[in-house]
Amino acid sequence: MVRRAVVTGVGHYLPERVVPNSEFEKTLDTTDEWIRVRSGIERRHFAAPGQTTSELATEAAKAALAMAGIDGADVDAIILATSTADMTFPSAATMVQEAIGNTKGYAFDVQAVCAGFVYALSNANALIVSGQAKTVLVIGAETFSRIMDWTDRSTCVLFGDGAGAVVLTAEDGKGTAQDRGILSTDLNSDGRYRDLLYVDGGVATQNTGVLRMQGKEVFRHAVEKLAQTADTALEKAGLTSDDVDWVVPHQANIRIIQSTAKKLGIGMDRVVVTVQDHGNTSAASIPLALSVGVANGQIKKNDVVVTEAIGGGLAWGAVILRW
């Protein structure tokens, strides 16, 4: 028998304010059609003034815990993937920990930008497989609207705010690809490409800064690296693309999603797409899409799910799991 990290609950939260593409037409040289054609995005959610990343994360966490039937006090570990934590420190995860009434566990943030949730899932899996935790709450949450340059039409129309969460619980498996739970992970990064996507602020500059991106270069790397990491993770799991029921990719750009699916040999009818409604929510995008996929009746028990993402760093990776 081997120990597996099985998803037992999933949930998400979106701020109330919905921002359609047309709203940008008032302040930028852009149109709804321009944004849709280039990104597939139609609308996104923005956090209210004073609404923090940890607050979004807490709402998603509570929804996931409710589905799992687990009290927040009984969670062993909380891992929060975010690049927009409330403060430099302490971690936003500890703020969620307090909000769900957990005092016995431990909590920490993971920062791998848009790949953050994949990194967090991999860390959660390692904690469970190694016996350091039995129940792990994994969250992706962002308020990217706080780090936008509102004069840059190439970036500010792409991002949104939101949060998604999953509960992972230790269960015994047979060590085969038929087990439920996380079957394999593949993580990568290459700091040589750090200038392709970054925020021009931080501790060194003593200001928050705004997001900067070389869009064409990021696109080129994304398609190549996302297909590669998904193939590697499938091979590690002893599976092929024919075994995949659903791809739940990072929701950055519909053209990247389509191109990656094509490289994997997987039809778009097996891809969960939410980018049109949420925009790019960075580390929140995969758990948001997982939660929506379950709510819509797409993802069902025992389905093989591929998640893959790439973000600043560059950092990228994939996780294969049987739901």
> What residues are labeled active site?
114, 250, 280
The structure tokens listed for 132 are 């350091």
The structure tokens listed for 158 are 């792409």
Q: Which has the closest alpha carbon to 146: 199, 108, 109? A: 199
Cβ 318 vs Cβ 230: under 8 Å = yes
What is d(CA 306, CA 194) in angstroms, rounded to the nearest whole number? 26
One-letter amino acid of 75: V
**Euclidean distance between the first and the last CA atom of the chain, given in angstroms as a whole number:** 19
One-letter amino acid of 245: D
| 101-105 long-range contacts, CB within 8 A, separation 24+ | 101/71, 101/72, 101/73, 102/72, 102/73, 102/75, 102/78, 103/73, 104/73, 104/76, 105/75, 105/76, 105/77, 105/78, 105/133
Cβ 211 vs Cβ 155: under 8 Å = yes
